[in-house]
Structure 1
């Protein structure tokens, strides 16, 4: 037997009181003479023996009463043989989006939460873990409101993350027996990641959705269908019949289009909307589905594109540049070095140093400031370039020019993986009419090759918005200007100097948005959507402001970029579609897990192995019995 409060045993000192009372309570007898002394002597002796027995029995009853009461207050108990080591429990409740799947009249998450509330004792102590939150050593009754109001989380934890976070919640003593109880549908779980883990004994309560049929809007992208229109292509996946399904497009709250789902050339399900090219859109794409409803919506946004300002500095002919940087997308200016207005440099998005023989400090210094402020730069050397002058400028970017070579060199390789050519070519071109350069310079530094010569040296290299050609582009030195490759190359560089914001971004991934606005010192931009707003990390340049996204936002939707109470444009964020991709795959519980059909069987096993029998009630009953014995002795014995 063990005592919960052994310090109360000091109460046994109260046993001294009945003993003292017994010793001090001596009765005095007065002698009275009688004629028949023999008879009186016999009666006296019998009466005295009966009184002594009563006193001893009363003493024992009182000692027993006090002892039983003191021990009952010490909370005595006995434990089973399996409770030598205390169990340390961590309960992991999966609240990912896949738990939205239907189960009877609720969903998987609500059912799992009710299992915990209905079967766990109110004073049951454990640590609690979800996708986004954790609680150390709490009782069931303390988590009641949290479980009733638990929301779905876009986060998807890997096996390593679950193991690491649960290990942090376990108590530190090694003698403690650790158990991880998992409530999940086990969608996307990788059993092999749990085979080597010995951090805890894992007990699983898998729950199966009634149906795994799901319709999901996977992604959307734009295609130009004409000079005045854009095609918005929406890709979907479905385990159900999509013949009667339709995708709706809303601009804010107004339904502007609705179309059916068709099978594309590649076998994918897709829907197509044609919209004006200059549309300003805070769009919501929706499809009806009763299972995983989070992936039935995709938020997209379009802003009216501003014109990109391009400045060419140099005496070399620039008519081919004006034909590439057309007025519908760009504002193109050309100036010689002698006539250059330096005040307009900071207003540009892209500057082209077009075959200058030398780069004077008066030019290189403001251009360097321009690049540091986020501007883009193209450097095209001339036939008679002063290499030392160029290298003094280019060394600040970790690059430079080497000696000139006068031998012909074919331009034969294209780095299709470079961001300049992203989404430019439908397929990688292996055979085309190779342009060539009559003279060219070697390029130094760690710039990434974009276009290369036949001998493996770079013809065009770039990094972080700075692009360096190895040869002049004038007609007598190279026929690259007549190659079809020059148009997508320079056009893509120009568009990239102020890229149009993506249709949407994925929550949790890093993203950057450039805005055509310059902020004052104390000004900030704020993003807001109904019920949620935040201030993103932002960097202000002389010509633009750059917004950085990562941990925030945490909620999907179309966000207004607010500046002084006005909306500059919209930007959209969506939850990852990983749960949708995994929803149709069979769930697999790792073989190392012990599985249970419901929480009642799990908690029953736990209570059987950690059973504690409380004895204080029995000692209270024993005290009552001693009290009754004393009363009976007082009434019946003389």
Structure 2
């Protein structure tokens, strides 16, 4: 047992006062004469023994009353542990979880509001002038600063929920670094959280033995949640006047089925449609909306449902765009190709340019979507490398080979991962297979028709490659060799014909399947930009914009700012940093012209309301002597906190015992008569 004010123990010498009074009886007796004292002697003997017992009991009660009173002023306490109650300067670090799951409801209201109240109690339990560290899920530049009690209170008043979340290891590491830097003997670490499993995946943490750790788990009263999980478009290219299916997934983490949930779609700020969904307990449910875009440009869309109390994940924002034109370059060996030009001139969708191979500049690849290599006898190593980069960044390359002895495609095939250099086969082969099931031909043929007239090749190229297994044979010859293959490379694709339109080599020019396939190749470029992004630290956005970067800025409904921007080949990389903190649409502007639109959503890591049980945290606390688990109870929290900071105090008990002894003394004096 220790004492807060041990100097008061010198007052125990006052115990000598009642002892002295007892030993020296200062009472004056009055003499009374009797004629016969025989009977009085007998009474005197009996009352003398009773009086002596009474006096001894009164003495002991006085001594105990004085002793307990002195001890009360000395304030005795029993420390919980030596480390918990080290006197002198202290360093105190507090982590308050303000992630989205803290919007849930506890016994006393919203968890985040409850957490703030607990922090107020913590800082009030320390003496005036104490410095604190306050960590939130946002982190930020103030993480390693020291704050006074008044500053902490101001920050708590402004603290709101955040899309960010921290894992327990990251929290403890930042606390430990700051605490050790304070260079004090006593260090206290507080973690106030709902201990959600998605962010705190592991409780088997390594703790610094010189720090006192105190964890407070806030209990959710409702762990059910319905949220928009994801949205996607399976169509690789979105085009005007064509049906587009927007698919979405709902997730129900509760234990009860949810029926009659309204799901709504809005596009460019206007309601487009709604549907009703029924989602089983602990399950997902998929659905779709069908739309037909009628204009080119940017589309800002959002799918929304209604669910309480967790609302941040009720909406999913996404965006896509329809380009007014697809730029196609036809690269010829010498003469232009009227046939190929006719294919793309038939639609306003295409903007076609024919170029001679010797006049081609690599910079042309930055402004085109599709490049057709038409019967080139050889392709330089430099162009092969540029075509690889062009494809990996989302471009489309179509190879219509030259077929003669001088053809050299070795570098090209290696760069595009097609395999070994091709060889020439002079046998006549008829086309006998079409991959109807591939999305490439999805809207070309109404039905599978084995009687369709297909082209014949007289001279064609063949090649062998272990990479061929990763390509798709769209058209096949009767011996199994491909006539047309498609290979995905990076974000783009490569199409290779095994013959060309020369009448000596094939009858391709006379068959509609060739023309239709070329047309589809022109539409094959997919958008390399995601439908949406998840807000997170170090978020980077990708834009297809490749123009000048002066005066670029991002703007949403609340703010506009200049982000960090870098040009990477044909793409633009954008880092909004901490400015992208709210979900919604962000427009990339240059002099008020919209260059791109990005959709940002809050991450769904906080949507699954699955938490560590108190038993799990208790087990973690039992494995560490310096880890204490605090109970989510306002009434007992302050008492328990005082025990941890000052030990178990007994001064109130001492006062109660002193009063009890005085009461016993009074009763002895008043009720015990001789």
TM-score category of the 2 structures, normalised to the smaller one: 0.5 to 0.7
Cα distance change, pair 114–407 in 1 and its aligned pair in 2 (3 A):
farther
SS of match in other structure, 2:180: coil
1: CA distance between counterparts of 2:217 and 2:389? 60
Cα deviation for residue 576 of structure 1 reads 1.0
Cα distance change, pair 411–602 in 1 and its aligned pair in 2 (3 A):
farther
Hey, what does 1:268 align to over in structure 2?
285
Cα deviation for residue 101 of structure 1 reads 1.0
Q: Could you state the TM-score of these two structures normalised by the residue count of structure 2?
A: 0.61
- 8 Å CA contact 1:526–1:533 kept in 2: the answer is yes
Deviation digits for residues 387-446 of structure 1, max 9, x if unmatched? 66x55778888998536364999999x9x9xxxx99999xxxxxxx9x999854658999
1: CA distance between counterparts of 2:472 and 2:132? 61
Q: 1:194-233 residue pairs with structure 2 within 5 A?
A: 194-199=203-208, 202-222=213-233, 227-233=241-247
Hey, what does 1:506 align to over in structure 2?
534
Q: 1:132-151 residue pairs with structure 2 within 5 A?
A: 132-133=138-139, 134-151=143-160
SS of match in other structure, 1:518: coil
Cα deviation for residue 116 of structure 1 reads 1.1
- 8 Å CA contact 1:317–1:474 kept in 2: the answer is no
SS of match in other structure, 2:176: helix
Cα deviation for residue 368 of structure 1 reads 9.8
Cα distance change, pair 535–403 in 1 and its aligned pair in 2 (3 A):
same
1: CA distance between counterparts of 2:440 and 2:606? 27
2: CA distance between counterparts of 1:167 and 1:126? 13
- 8 Å CA contact 2:396–2:524 kept in 1: the answer is no
- 8 Å CA contact 2:391–2:490 kept in 1: the answer is no
Q: 1:26-37 residue pairs with structure 2 within 5 A?
A: none
Cα deviation for residue 268 of structure 1 reads 0.7
Cα deviation for residue 311 of structure 1 reads 1.7
- 8 Å CA contact 1:83–1:609 kept in 2: the answer is no
Cα distance change, pair 597–257 in 1 and its aligned pair in 2 (3 A):
same
2: CA distance between counterparts of 1:198 and 1:422? 55
Matching of residue 103 in structure 1 with residue 114 in structure 2: no
- Mind listing any 5+ residue stretches in structure 2 that lack a counterpart? 5-73, 443-449, 622-627, 652-674
Cα distance change, pair 565–181 in 1 and its aligned pair in 2 (3 A):
same
- 8 Å CA contact 1:194–1:592 kept in 2: the answer is yes
- 8 Å CA contact 2:198–2:606 kept in 1: the answer is no
Moved more, 340-349 or 215-224: 340-349
- 8 Å CA contact 2:395–2:493 kept in 1: the answer is no
2: CA distance between counterparts of 1:348 and 1:507? 31
- 8 Å CA contact 1:383–1:472 kept in 2: the answer is no
Deviation digits for residues 500-555 of structure 1, max 9, x if unmatched? 7443222225441213x622xx623211012222334445699x762434746232
Hey, what does 2:133 align to over in structure 1?
127
Cα distance change, pair 444–274 in 1 and its aligned pair in 2 (3 A):
closer
Q: Could you state the TM-score of these two structures normalised by the residue count of structure 1?
A: 0.63
Deviation digits for residues 217-252 of structure 1, max 9, x if unmatched? 222234689944434334322346644432344455
- 8 Å CA contact 1:406–1:440 kept in 2: the answer is yes
Cα deviation for residue 304 of structure 1 reads 4.0
2: CA distance between counterparts of 1:225 and 1:264? 32
Matching of residue 597 in structure 1 with residue 624 in structure 2: no
2: CA distance between counterparts of 1:491 and 1:363? 24
- 8 Å CA contact 2:191–2:216 kept in 1: the answer is yes
Q: 1:543-554 residue pairs with structure 2 within 5 A?
A: 546-549=572-575, 551=577, 553-554=580-581
SS of match in other structure, 2:221: coil
Hey, what does 1:73 align to over in structure 2?
none
Hey, what does 2:555 align to over in structure 1?
528
2: CA distance between counterparts of 1:485 and 1:91? 69
- 8 Å CA contact 1:536–1:547 kept in 2: the answer is no
- Mind listing any 5+ residue stretches in structure 1 that lack a counterpart? 4-75, 426-432, 614-638
SS of match in other structure, 1:262: strand
Matching of residue 170 in structure 1 with residue 179 in structure 2: yes
Cα distance change, pair 446–371 in 1 and its aligned pair in 2 (3 A):
same
2: CA distance between counterparts of 1:206 and 1:485? 67
Cα distance change, pair 300–84 in 1 and its aligned pair in 2 (3 A):
closer
2:304 to 286, 292, 301: 286
SS of match in other structure, 2:271: strand
